[in-house]
Amino acid sequence: MKITIVGTGYVGLVTAACLAELGNEVFCLDVDSHKIDALNSGHIPIHEPGLDAIISRNRSAGRISFSTDIRASVEHGDLQFIAVGTPSDEDGSADLQYVLAAARNIGRYMTGFKVIVDKSAVPVGTGERVRRVIEQELTRREINDPAHTFSVISNPEFLKEGAAVEDFMRPDRIVIGVEADGANSRRAGDMMRRLYAPFNRNHERTLYMDIRSAEFTKYAANAMLATRISFMNEMANLSDRVGADIEAVRRGIGADPRIGYHFLYAGCGYGGSCFPKDVRALISTGLEVGEDLKILGAVESVNDRQKDVLIRKITRAYGDDLSSMTFAVWGLAFKPNTDDMREAPSRRLIADLLARGARVRAYDPVAMDAARAVLEDDLARQRGTFSRLTFAANPIETVEDADALVVVTEWKEFKSPDFGELHRAMKAPVIFDGRNLYEPQQMREWGFTYHAIGRSSGLEVALEVSAH
């Protein structure tokens, strides 16, 4: 099938690459000429395992192309996927200017039946707005020929950064929202069914529904996952107060099949492009229709506070004046297997450490360039602090002569370091673990002072009781 993907960001590139891998002819459009030039020269602007190989293979095979030519992009695809950004506006609502601009361009140049697929994360009602914009363009062009008809589809993505290719190629569900307009919607539904047929051969994974429900499903899914994270973070903070071990609690409640283990890990808060933005957008949608979403308001509040959990532990240990200290930071991206720094907890932590006079030496396996750029911008108002931030070439270099190590992102290479070498390299053997990667007892045996999230002396108490 001939497919156009509007937008070469995270969702657009993964969607384009995976659909090309299935044998489709994919045309990728972006208005950013620098990004298109980079893609045409073989540079992939995001880090996503497996993505560069798929794009390279399909570009060589002629199944994927990159261009800034809007007219050509509309002419190419029978299916027009809109996969542009929907950043948060000042009031927390989703900014739809790029979605509507893409729809307007489709209406401006379409010459035959098109299926417009909203792939971006958009609030409920966006499908109707996309339809109105296209209709306005067709009216302006004085086109009334039935051949120039179209249908709007909602097909939200459910991709995890760091595992997006696997998620796309092995989906647990495919959500498709269709319009209730008779022949056009049936034709569009048939085209989507053909497109996703390779994923449904063993069993049907596609869920068909109305457009508004499909749009809502995307936001509700991310809001639920964010809620689980904030719930566990709040339980972890309480565990620290009452002497319980949140890891033991996690195993205890996760064993209940009604709860399960997914997204029940305590830490220093979530970030990225999806959870913060989508929670805010859903709260904003609620306010627009007179519904105060109190649970999601609390989820956002808990997460915002959790991003300060490490600096609170650090200042409790050393006080507010950290001017004589050097902190090593392992992990900058908001999660492993990505270089995405959007709303990453590391950004606030580093800014807080520098504001208190500390020196910071940081390392991340893939996000160093992205981190350097965003942190320089973050720290522009803290004059002189950026000079006290340096970047190391590897984990051990990061911790040399450091007063403490702070673990912020759970990269695999941080999970089983040589603790003897780590102990010898550090000025003081102190670890603040924002992802609970290590066992407290093991850390004590290695001679570390270990501060985790919700992992207090509860385990020692349990062992003492069992011994007697």
Write out the binding residues for substrate.
Answer: 158-161, 218, 263-267, 271, 335
- Look at residues 69, 82, 78, 115 and name the one whose alpha carbon lies nearest to residue 5: 82
Question: Where do the domains of the chain lie?
Answer: 2-220, 307-459
For helices 309-318 and 345-355, give the axis angle rounded to 10 degrees: 30
Task: Indicate the SS3 state at residue 410.
Answer: coil
Catalytic pick from 18, 28, 268, 274? 274
Cα 313 from Cα 306, distance rounded (Å): 11
* Residues forming beta bridges with residue 326, ordered by sequence position: 359
Question: In angstroms, rounded to a whole number, what is the distance separating the alpha carbons of residues 28 and 15?
Answer: 10
Q: What does the pLDDT read at residue 145?
A: 73
Please tell me the predicted confidence (pLDDT) of residue 457. Answer: 54
**By three-state DSSP, how is residue 48 classified?**
coil
Contacts of residues 97-101 at CB distance under 8 Å and 24 or more positions apart, as own/partner, are 98/7, 99/126, 99/130, 100/129, 100/130, 100/133
Q: According to CATH, what is the number of the domain 2-220?
A: 3.40.50.720
Q: Which of 28, 25, 47 is nearest to 36 (CA)?
A: 28
DSSP character at residue 9: S
Indicate yes or no: pTM above 0.85.
Answer: yes
Per-10-residue mean pLDDT of the chain, 468 residues long, equals 96 97 97 96 93 96 98 98 92 92 96 94 94 94 79 95 94 94 87 95 91 96 97 97 95 96 95 93 95 97 97 97 97 96 97 97 97 94 88 97 98 96 97 97 96 75 46
The annotated binding site for NAD(+) is made up of: 30, 35, 86, 161, 277, 342
Question: Does residue 268 have an active-site annotation?
Answer: no
Q: What is the C-alpha separation between 336 and 332, in angstroms, rounded? A: 9
Tokens at 418, concatenated = 């040589």
Q: How far apart are CA 103 and CA 130, in angstroms?
A: 6
Binding residue numbers: 30, 35, 86, 158-161, 218, 263-267, 271, 277, 335, 342
Strands in 174-178's sheet, in edge-to-edge order, are 64-67, 25-29, 2-6, 79-82, 114-118, 150-154, 174-178, 206-210
Check residue 285 and give its pLDDT. Answer: 94
DSSP single-letter state for residue 156: -
Candidates 181, 174, 248; CA nearest to 214 is 174
DSSP assignments along 223-284, one per residue: HHHHHHHHHHHHHHHHHHHHT-BHHHHHHHHHTSTTT-STT----S---SSSHHHHHHHHHH
Task: Give the side-chain half-sphere CA count within 13 A for 361.
Answer: 19
> What topology is assigned to 307-459 in CATH?
Rossmann fold (3.40.50)
Strand order in the sheet with 389-391: 389-391, 359-363, 326-330, 404-407, 430-433, 449-451
